[in-house]
């Protein structure tokens, strides 16, 4: 009896924590390979295809190179902030993953294994708040480097992230309106009861959220803070070795986090598609976790697709897009959603 108690009270939580740390790393490895190959194929290049079958081992080679690389900190840098910045970025995205439900609870005998570390009544806000802490890593990283391009990148990213947080908040509100909860698990459960995903009910919210999410994660076409043609590499220009790897992994972890949020809020999380069509009932056999993975892989692919397709925005256009288009659109959408909710 004590033995099972030990397993349930200690081993499983520790295992979950390890899984939450490993999961973004694993996704990063997948994404590095996917991104480089897909972008190359879209641009009629070959991309990495030498290391392993179709270049599958390329990310490991990259990681190995970063491990061995000399960790340089130039003299004029601020030592404390320079070291803290990558940790902050990494910390915020990993901590936010604790609250993201990855699948439906699995029943093992009498024990219910939940695929999340913590369920909070304010989970959605908590994830958004924790992931916004990463902006400090970007600011401090850019500022502590004490040179021109990182500082420019950091300033840009502050303005960008603060601006795009507003449409995100407004669109999240419309989802909360329908789900009547800020709890991520409850939001998915509500979609399973309603038998319709919020993405189809609130298409405008989804589109606005997705555009803002791309801007929040500093990805093309909104990758102004690290625009390589203007700023060398933006806020992490001066970083090398493991510290750079931290920024790199954190960026991908953030993408995975945002994709998870989109999937959970707008596309039913771990639910199987077509709940109304009896012919597709066999889809429910596949475990929820797999559906979740399939869905977030689609959105991660969308990230790469957009990056390979669209040219980069100019900075003033980027801010104009947020304040003159997305925020009014999100407000209007919110108003309409509120009216519909009131009438229904």
Partner 1 sequence: MAILLFFLFAAFAVGSVLGMIISRNQAYSALFLVVAFASLGGLFGLLGAPFMAVVQIIIYAGAIMVLFIFVIMMIHLGEGISAEKKKWTIAAAVFMGIILLAEIVFAVKGAPAVPMAGQEMAGTSPTEIGRLLFTKYLYPFEITSILIIAALVGAVVLIKKREGE
Given the rule CB under 8 A, which residues bind partner 1? 78, 80-81, 84, 120-122, 125-126, 128-130, 132-133, 135-136, 139-140, 143-144, 151, 154-155, 158, 162, 165, 180, 182
Is the Cβ of residue 58 or residue 174 nearer to partner 1 in the bound state?
Answer: 174
Angle at 145 between CA 143 and CA 146, to 5 degrees: 70
Is the Cβ of residue 175 or residue 182 nearer to partner 1 in the bound state?
Answer: 182
Q: Quick one: how far is CA 242 from the chain centroid?
A: 21
Is the Cβ of residue 55 or residue 141 nearer to partner 1 in the bound state?
Answer: 141
**Nearest distance from residue 92's CB to partner 1, in Å?**
10
The two three-digit tokens of residue 262, written as one number: 């989109």
The two three-digit tokens of residue 224, written as one number: 């102004």
What distance in Å separates the CA atoms of residue 120 and residue 182, rounded to the nearest whole number? 9
Task: Classify residue 311 by its DSSP letter.
Answer: P
What distance in Å separates the CA atoms of residue 152 and residue 161, rounded to the nearest whole number? 14
Is the Cβ of residue 133 or residue 293 nearer to partner 1 in the bound state?
Answer: 133
Please say whether the beta carbons of 28 and 253 come within 8 A. yes
CB-based contacts of 272, cutoff 8 Å, min separation 6 = 280, 283, 284, 286, 288, 291
**Nearest distance from residue 154's CB to partner 1, in Å?**
8
Is the Cβ of residue 39 or residue 173 nearer to partner 1 in the bound state?
Answer: 173
Q: Is 112 helix (H, G, I), strand (E, B) or coil?
A: strand
Question: Omega into 221 within 30° of 0, i.e. cis?
Answer: yes
**Nearest distance from residue 76's CB to partner 1, in Å?**
11
Is the Cβ of residue 158 or residue 297 nearer to partner 1 in the bound state?
Answer: 158
Is the Cβ of residue 125 or residue 308 nearer to partner 1 in the bound state?
Answer: 125
**Nearest distance from residue 78's CB to partner 1, in Å?**
7
Query: Long-range contact list for 29-38, CB < 8 A, 24+ apart?
Result: 29/59, 29/60, 29/63, 30/59, 31/252, 31/255, 31/256, 31/300, 31/304, 32/58, 32/59, 32/62, 32/252, 33/58, 33/59, 34/300, 34/301, 34/304, 35/304, 35/307, 38/301, 38/304, 38/305, 38/308
| Residue bearing tokens 């992994």 | 249
**Nearest distance from residue 37's CB to partner 1, in Å?**
36
The two three-digit tokens of residue 55, written as one number: 């270049």
**Nearest distance from residue 297's CB to partner 1, in Å?**
29
Per DSSP, the chain holds a count of helices (H) and strands (E) of 15, 2
Query: What's the distance, Cα to Cα, between the start and end of the chain in Å?
Result: 52
**Nearest distance from residue 337's CB to partner 1, in Å?**
16
**Nearest distance from residue 160's CB to partner 1, in Å?**
12
**Nearest distance from residue 111's CB to partner 1, in Å?**
20
Is the Cβ of residue 135 or residue 300 nearer to partner 1 in the bound state?
Answer: 135
What distance in Å separates the CA atoms of residue 310 and residue 195, rounded to the nearest whole number? 35
Is the Cβ of residue 31 or residue 128 nearer to partner 1 in the bound state?
Answer: 128
């Amino acid at each position: 009896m004590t033995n099972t108690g030990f397993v349930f009270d200690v081993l499983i939580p520790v295992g979950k924590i390890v899984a939450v740390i490993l999961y973004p790393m694993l996704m990063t490895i997948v994404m590095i390979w996917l991104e480089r190959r897909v972008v190359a194929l879209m641009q009629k290049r070959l991309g990495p295809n030498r290391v392993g079958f179709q270049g599958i081992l390329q990310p490991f080679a990259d990681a190995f190179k970063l491990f061995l690389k000399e960790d340089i900190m130039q003299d004029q840098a601020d030592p404390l902030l320079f070291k803290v910045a990558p940790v902050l970025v990494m910390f915020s995205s990993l901590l936010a993953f604790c609250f993201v439900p990855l699948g439906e609870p699995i029943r093992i005998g009498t024990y219910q294994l939940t695929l999340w570390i913590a369920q909070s009544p304010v989970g959605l806000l908590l994830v958004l708040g924790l992931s916004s802490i990463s902006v400090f890593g970007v600011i401090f990283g850019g500022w502590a480097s004490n040179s021109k391009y990182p500082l420019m990148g950091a300033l840009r990213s502050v303005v960008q992230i603060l601006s795009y947080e507003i449409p995100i908040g407004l669109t999240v509100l419309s989802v909360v309106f329908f789900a009547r909860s800020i709890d991520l698990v409850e939001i998915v459960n509500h979609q399973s009861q309603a038998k319709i995903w919020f993405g189809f009910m609130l298409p405008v919210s989804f589109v606005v959220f997705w555009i803002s999410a791309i801007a929040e994660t500093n990805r093309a076409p909104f990758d102004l803070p690290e625009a390589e043609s203007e700023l060398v590499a933006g806020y992490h220009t001066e970083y090398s070795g493991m510290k750079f790897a931290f920024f790199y992994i954190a960026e991908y972890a953030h993408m995975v986090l945002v994709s998870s949020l989109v999937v959970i809020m707008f596309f039913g999380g771990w639910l199987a598609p077509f709940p109304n069509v009896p012919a597709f009932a066999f889809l429910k056999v596949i475990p929820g976790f797999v559906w979740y993975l399939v869905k977030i892989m689609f959105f991660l692919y969308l990230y790469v697709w957009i990056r390979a397709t669209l040219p980069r925005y100019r900075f003033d256009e980027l801010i104009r897009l947020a304040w003159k288009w997305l925020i009014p659109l999100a407000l209007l959408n919110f108003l309409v959603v509120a009216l519909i909710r009131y009438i229904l």
